[in-house]
Amino acid sequence: MSDLFEVVKQQIKGKNLRIVFPEGTDERILTAASNLKRDLLIEPILLGDAAEIQEKAKYIDLADITIINPANYAEMDAMVASFVERRKGKATPEQAEEILKSSVNYFGTMLVHMGLADGLVSGAVHSTAETVRPALQLIKTKPGVNRTSGVFIMVRGREKYVFADCAINISPNSQELAEIAVESAKTARTFGIHPRVAMLSFSTKGSAKSPETDKVSEAVRLIKEMDSSFRVDGEIQFDAAYVPSVAQKKAPESEIQGDATVFVFPSLEAGNIGYKMAQRLGEFEAVGPILQGLNKPVNDLSRGCNAEDVYNLALISAAQALPNG
């Protein structure tokens, strides 16, 4: 396991953080939950029928792990009332109860909203939309943040970088890029990475001029107004952001001198391609996507995940739930 997860383990051990897994009948989820409980790292909460979960578990040890069945949840009335209040009249009590009993993701997200769990991990069976939509409706974004975004932490030995946004926003404007950058810097700090933010483009400091480059340079101006606690520059090409000798030639006056640790891509297309190239050609481990900008952590697995992926994303979610996460 990489240094990243060893750092996270030290951060969360002994904190008794509760992570809810809506997909409680999936063997990958059960294996990860058992291992997390065994390692005394988090308190897993599994959703589903207890008998069905135990049948699926077979030889997996689920001793002392909390199992909640939404179909007969004792505090459903309180949850329904909280749901109706949170949705501000967009659901009647009857509709709310139907949603909460039929959708484990909505039910699990309400546990987080009500403070009965510290974070949620889903997506082994459900789509990204099925995981993210309840979070946006119930958890909602932090004050000053208009939308969530998705980052990967790219790890290779002792190297750790944040790539954003690689999962959510297709074509962010300058304001949205600025928000993504500020939240990505916070995410970097959560995982022991000192944020030095490169706002990427195909141009470095005016070497090309287009609406696309203007969008990125305007985002840099906005970032500096929003948060001056970290170094940021752009528009800048990846080589100038990553290689000191190239930075000296292309941008000798830049605040980023080939030492960027957070790379913000101008579009989802670029971000998704970029992280996959680093993963496959550069042999980086891609940890994520990690959702940021929400009031409380909700994270989305790939449906092709394995038990180790579930375990790792639960660790990440627990770290996000810490007061400085």
pLDDT (tens digit per residue) in 265-297? 999 999 999 999 999 999 998 888 899 999 999
Domain range annotation of the chain = 3-140+296-321, 149-285
Please, which residues have CB within 8 angstroms of residue 160's CB and are 6 or more apart in sequence?
3, 4, 153, 154, 191, 192, 193, 261
**Tokens 């606690």, residue?**
229
**Residues of the chain below pLDDT 50:** 1
Six-digit token string for 309: 């992926």
> Cα(first)–Cα(last) distance of the chain, in Å?
21
Q: For 222-231, how does the pLDDT look when each residue is reduced to its tens digit (9 = 90+)?
A: 999 999 999 9
The pLDDT value recorded for residue 41 is 93
CATH number for the region 149-285 comes to 3.40.50.10750
> What was the pLDDT predicted at 103?
95
| Predicted pLDDT at 226 | 93
Is 282 in a helix, a strand, or coil?
Answer: coil
At residue 325, the pLDDT reads 65
CATH of 3-140+296-321, one of 3.60.10.10, 3.40.1390.10, 3.40.50.10950, 3.40.50.970: 3.40.50.10950
State the pLDDT at residue 305. 85
The answer to whether 3-140+296-321 and 149-285 have equal CATH topology is: yes
CA 315 to CA 313: how far, in whole Å? 5
123 φψ region: left (φ > 0), alpha (ψ -120 to 50), beta (else): left
Strand partners, 198: 233, 263
Instruction: Point out which residues pair with 236 in neighbouring strands.
Output: 200
| pTM of this structure | 0.86
| Assigned token pair, 257 | 């001198």
